[in-house]
Structure 1
């Protein structure tokens, strides 16, 4: 009887799925940081050393705010999982290189304390922290968030800032648009981490190869952007590629629309989510007063995620019809 009691004391029963893996949050976030490295290097090359200062400030403040919140609330410290570091770096990627450092720190506070920790910490937030911080900064400091430094190769004594390709398109200045190759490589103005489509593509493919993210959302997101642009501009392949490389499409599709917590769990839900992001992005770009729509599209689809999950769960469970 004593042996039986000891056996039951050690028996641990948990709900499915039962997955054996050596992966954990720290390893996943470390892989994401590694995938962001090409875009970070591209940002430093295009905009100079201030990118390093801005990134360090955002990362340190994000980690610091999480540490301080856990200390004040007597919670277990979670800074070792690197999720706060990823959030801080993504905030730096989503703002101009010229943004005042204190504004980047304020963005980290909003992302970590308001969006993440007040809702229970990692795994509990219902919207993406970095995306929400970007929108908060844009609404609060629109002048600073829309002052775009020119690439060092283009800046001169009388012009150090200028419009992004999407700003030029929205203003009807199509003759001044950079080539698709310039946009693909990153020799354009814009936010720190979104100028080089090539660097972001390398990082995104790396995450898919390491099975950190599913390809469904990026493919649905970017595919929808491509198709809508292709049709809207009279079957123009040039403009379809332009919209893939412009703005935050690549950064959003690979690094923020794929967040585990705020996106659907099932494949059909991921497909719906990605298509929704693409549709909203292009609706804002084509008909909206603001030239870019990636951040707003991801935030709105984050809010729809519980509904998408419920609908797709019912579909996979046979509709959930009640017995009569």
Structure 2
């Protein structure tokens, strides 16, 4: 594993903000959705959240002990991974499966690729997809208020409709952290206010997705259907809290726009034409793998390069 620092091309901007400060901001921004999830789904949700966070932190600490590497658990990135993973799980998931997901996120997706800054996909989403493949039954079983049933997104995909106020507030079945759009937007506003994220990726993502479903869903400009699609499933959680991950998203301004467009189109394809009602997790992971190519074609020209190129072309034409 390399200890080299991977940085973008100049110019560089020095900032006083540290990694653990950014991670702390992310944790704070997720608290409204986390607290609502615990209230909404009960003590079982709290147990899963605690279990995944402990699994992620311990996995990172043990792995670094084994490979004789300096401990990095103080940067809080493992805590963020555990919390995000838990918020993407149904509250009925067996605890041991959540723990397996936490270990997979840290050891396989993050540490085996060199640790924070080296992983090529979002660890929490990588673990969620691993759990979906390994434990499909328990990962797609949702219970709300003691009753098992389909999520609003599955109902909408089958041609039904759902109360938009319930979707906005979060009083319905779903994963622990995705249900309350109100709480997620409060957290997103906090991240924007703190300068942790900007609107390029989530804004482009959501706009592209809306355009896609207007064109291909068969509902046209049905405002109620558009709101239902935006307020159900994990698209808001994914757009603001996982697609904006510094490590697995483009650093170039144009690259962020292209990244958001890819996310919107992929999510639309998975939701409208895929077998599953949801598609946010797979969309973000696929887009994560496109990041190196996106950055290569969207890297800005160095200062003076265009002018110098024109001079050379003028001399060649003389």
Q: CA RMSD in A?
A: 1.9
Q: Which residues in structure 2 correspond to 1:159-198 (within 5 Å)?
A: 160-172=147-159, 174=160, 177-198=161-182
CA deviations over 1:141-162 (Å, ceiling 9, x no partner): 0000000111x3xx4xxxx211
Distance 1:179 1:20, change over 3 A: same
Instruction: Please report how far the alpha carbon of residue 169 of structure 1 lies from its aligned counterpart in structure 2 after TM superposition.
Output: 2.2
Question: 1:1-324 residue pairs with structure 2 within 5 A?
Answer: 16-150=10-144, 152=145, 155=146, 160-172=147-159, 174=160, 177-231=161-215, 232=217, 233-313=219-299
Q: Is the 8 A contact 2:38 2:46 kept in 1?
A: yes
Q: Distance in 1 between matches of 2:257 and 2:13?
A: 24
Q: TM-score by structure 1 length?
A: 0.88
Encode CA deviations 1:210-256: one digit per residue, 9 max, x unaligned.
00012110101111222223343121011111111110000000010
For 1:278 and 1:94, locate their aligned partners in 2 and report how far apart those are by CA, in whole Å.
19
Q: Deviations over 1:243-281 (max 9, x none)?
A: 111100000000100000111011110011111111110
Indicate if the aligned counterparts of 1:227 and 1:240 stay in contact, CA closer than 8 A: no
- Residue deviations 1:31-62 (CA, integer Å, cap 9, x gap): 00000001001111211111111100000110
CA distance in 2, matches of 1:285, 1:256: 18
Summarize the Cα distance change of 1:18–1:297 in structure 2 as closer, same or farther, 3 Å threshold: closer
Matched residues in 1 for 2:253 and 2:226: separation? 26
Give the structure-2-normalised TM-score: 0.90
State how far apart, in whole Å, the 2-side matches of 1:185 and 1:89 are: 21
Tell me if the contact between 1:225 and 1:243 (Cα under 8 Å) persists in the aligned partners.
no
Aligned residues: 300
Inter-partner Cα distance in structure 1 for 2:187 and 2:76: 18
Relative distance call for 1:18 and 1:170 in structure 2 (3 A) is closer
Secondary structure at the aligned position of 1:102 is classed as helix
Report the Cα distance in structure 2 between the residues aligned to 1:81 and 1:237, rounded to whole angstroms.
43
Q: Tell me if the contact between 2:201 and 2:257 (Cα under 8 Å) persists in the aligned partners.
A: yes
Is there any run of 5+ residues in structure 1 with no aligned partner, and where? Answer: 1-14
